[in-house]
Amino acid sequence: QVQLVESGGGLVQAGGSLRLSCAASGRTFTNYYMAWFRQVSGKEREFVASISWRSSLTNYVDSVKGRCTISRDNAKNTVYLQMNSLKPEDTAVYYCAASSGRPGRLVNDYGYWGQGTQVTVSS
């Protein structure tokens, strides 16, 4: 198993930036495809971005393309989500997720989850 702990959320004004971090422990980090999801209360959890084992492939939901960058540091067992030009509609709880396979964008594609970190963007 792998354990995931997110950090870096907070309150920011529209147009601002945040960098989320997700520290992994347990099994070998490079065995896992990593992703970020987000969820607004009362709505389904939504895919945001993913990154392959050696960072060769990244994938983004259209609403964050050009504003967010996912990256990973395998030496530090950490995945990041740099978010720029934040909008009020980015407000959500952001979750880090890991898959031992070759996942798509579905929640069920990922078997391991962090506890989430709140991002609030004020207008």
Quick one: pLDDT at residue 106?
96
Q: Are 112 and 1 in contact (CB under 8 A)?
A: yes
pLDDT at 56: 86
pLDDT value of position 105: 96
Query: Would you state the pLDDT for residue 102?
Result: 87
Structure tokens at 21: 């971090």
pLDDT for the residue numbered 26: 85
Cβ partners under 8 Å of residue 60, min gap 6: 48, 49, 68, 70
pLDDT of residue 99: 96
Residues of the chain with pLDDT under 70: none
User: Please, what's the b/e burial string for 31-61 (b: 16 or more CB within 10 A of its CB; e: otherwise)?
Assistant: ebbbbbbbeeeeeebbbbbbbebeeeeebbb
DSSP 8-class letter at 57: -
Per-residue pLDDT at 52: 94
**Contact (CB, 8 A) for 84 and 17:** yes
Distance CA 29, CA 8 (A): 20
37-50 pLDDT tens trace: 999 999 999 999 99
